[in-house]
Amino acid sequence: MAGSGSGAGVRDAGPAPRAPHAGTSDGARSGGWIEGDPVGDRRFLDLPVDAAEPFRLERGGTLPAVRVAYETWGTPAPGGGNAVLVEHALTGDSHVVGPAGPGQPTPGWWPTLVGPGAPLDSDRWFVVCANVLGGCQGTTGPSSTAPDGAPWGSRFPEVTIGDQVSVEAALADALGVDRWTAVLGGSMGGMRALEWAVARPDRVGGLLFLASGAVATADQIGTQTTQQTAIRSDPRWAGGDYAPGEGPVAGLGTARRIAHLSYRSGVELEARFGARVQDDGRFAVASYLDHHAAKLATRFDAGSYVVLTEAMNSWDVGRGRSGMEAALRRVSARAVVAGVDSDRLYPPALQQRVADALGLPLRMITSPYGHDGFLLETEAVGALVRELLTA
């Protein structure tokens, strides 16, 4: 298996799991707001700014306009020279840190990472995070209103990771950011961070690529298409044209249960739940999955879930670039590549391949939490962020 930055082999899942953490999965809330986390400035941008041309997508679709919801912390320096872009994962959004509130139904998903004196020190850096194209937290997606006044629904076009980065590039232009000091993200956010560094190397000074891959694997595609099938099989899916306020809640919940099992490690689940049965007759692990399924249904759109997992399935940084290794030769940013030793969805071998192509050691986060370790191990992630920004 892959080696860590110290040259040692990839470790086992590490020590026995700690007490149950309040965390959740892949971009969802990872423990809630921490006292002292700053409140960001949430805004919206309508693209294209000049409204002269529709937004043209890689797979041939178009959108007449795109609204981007984004949040910022800190103050931009002249020319945007202190700007850092944070990329959220599948069910995340622009609200990196801070409490729930108007327009933000849940607390920040990466607590303690942004703020005065934090790894992303808002007294020094201008931190930006945008809700992704195809999402459902303020940026244009399937639940958004189309020009005819009805939701886009099944008419929403296919989008790619490249399309999402193109929208972020337009946002950067509008913010006056010519070059990001760093772009960082994990899981689906790591895909966009890597796409930035490959597609626009002159605009990226630093890259943190965390718990992700450079191309979708058969295992990931199979897992995600199964989740999509769960949603589409719900009678309330209605071909993707369900009414606002209704929809395939049961199918979305099943998709979440499938996904959540891939986000956590078997070691952690066994230590926390084993085969224990609750007083109500349910297996404890099943109750745990039910809880996360219900939580997602209150804040996420099923159409966005399908669109975004399809974008993840089509991800290949080497497509149209003569393969992955050739694509990664375009990267000029200083970079940190890291994985989670117990990650079974994006195992460390995937990050090792990127690290090898960039001529870097692979940094390893030890965690019992599987893929979710990139969200929950904030101290270890914070150390990598500080390292990247002080290099």
The pLDDT tens digits of the residues spanning 147-204 come to 999 999 999 999 999 999 999 999 999 999 999 999 999 999 999 999 999 999 999 9
Residue 36: band (very low, low, confident or very high) from pLDDT cuts 50, 70, 90: low
The pLDDT tens digits of the residues spanning 8-18 come to 222 222 223 32
Which has more confidence, 3 or 93?
93
CA gap 266, 146 in Å, rounded: 43
Query: E strands of the chain, at which residues?
Result: 41-47, 55-56, 62-63, 66-73, 83-87, 114-115, 120-121, 126-130, 182-186, 206-210, 334-340, 362-365
Res 23 pLDDT > 80: no
CA-closest candidate to residue 132, choices 163, 110, 102, 154: 163
Residue 103 confidence (pLDDT): 75
Residue 243: band (very low, low, confident or very high) from pLDDT cuts 50, 70, 90: confident
Residue 35: band (very low, low, confident or very high) from pLDDT cuts 50, 70, 90: low
Residue 32 confidence (pLDDT): 53
Span 370-388, average pLDDT: 98
The pLDDT tens digits of the residues spanning 100-154 come to 877 777 899 998 999 999 999 999 999 999 999 999 999 999 999 999 999 999 9
Residue 97 confidence (pLDDT): 94
CA gap 305, 73 in Å, rounded: 27
Q: Looking at the annotation, which residues are catalytic?
A: 187, 343, 371
Give the architecture-level CATH label for domain 41-218+316-390.
3-Layer(aba) Sandwich (3.40)
Give the residue carrying structure tokens 């990001």: 180
CA gap 31, 16 in Å, rounded: 20
Res 61 pLDDT > 90: yes
Residue 51 confidence (pLDDT): 60
CA-closest candidate to residue 84, choices 188, 4, 189: 189
Cα angle 194-202-199, degrees, rounded to a multiple of 5: 40
Span 88-111, average pLDDT: 90
Q: 44's torsion region: left (phi>0), alpha (psi -120 to 50) or beta?
A: beta
